[in-house]
Homo-oligomer: A and B are copies of this chain.
């Protein structure tokens, strides 16, 4: 009965925003950005079209909000100490985390791939223009670069213990492309390889690259 406090209003706002974003993520992920209409989202979120525009200035901004939110979630689940060097155990843990990340956030990653593919993810994702996508408090491209550096470092240090024709850059390229391939499989064709091979595969990968 008592008028709501500004905080309560803010709480309601955040809840509605989250609701819209969840519905939108589901539809974007399943049918793609273009094929999903504002009407669909509004209807499934149980609100009006107009209200949608009260929370998000455009369909594009809604998309950006979803991506940023998911990236942040992923980031907090990750939270690497970016300055340190990876030990062998940390490297192993890191790989397992990556695998889990793709398996557990399949819907989001499918959205990322689908949406980005339509506008050139690899061209734009890491570019300056894409700095609207933030991972926690840093632009996505810096985050990616940090992760990359972490791994590169690891392979360089590992190289010091290997024989002469071991090339850390080559090793790093092969490793990251392998991860990329697994990501694609987990995201779009999880049924392609039987589940019981998940652990075996991770173990084998770790054995091959650690």
Binding site for B on A (CB under 8 A): 30-32, 34-35, 113-114, 117-123, 167, 169-171, 173-174, 176-185, 188-189, 192-193, 197, 200-201, 204-205, 208
Contacts and interface: CB of A to CB of B under 8 A. Distances in A.
Given A177-B178, A181-B179, A170 B117 contact: no
A197 B177 CA distance: 13
Contacts of A181: 176-184
Nearest to A148: B192
Contacts of A204: 167, 170-171, 174
Contacts of A120: 30, 188
A185 B193 contact: no
A65 B82 CA distance: 49
Contact of A178 (B122, B178, B189): B178
7 contacts: A122-B188, A174-B201, A174-B204, A174-B208, A178-B181, A180-B181, A181-B184
A118 to B, nearest CB: 5
Contacts of A178: 174, 177-178, 181
Contacts of A184: 177, 180-181, 184
A173 B34 CA distance: 33
Contacts of A188: 120-123
Nearest to A194: B169
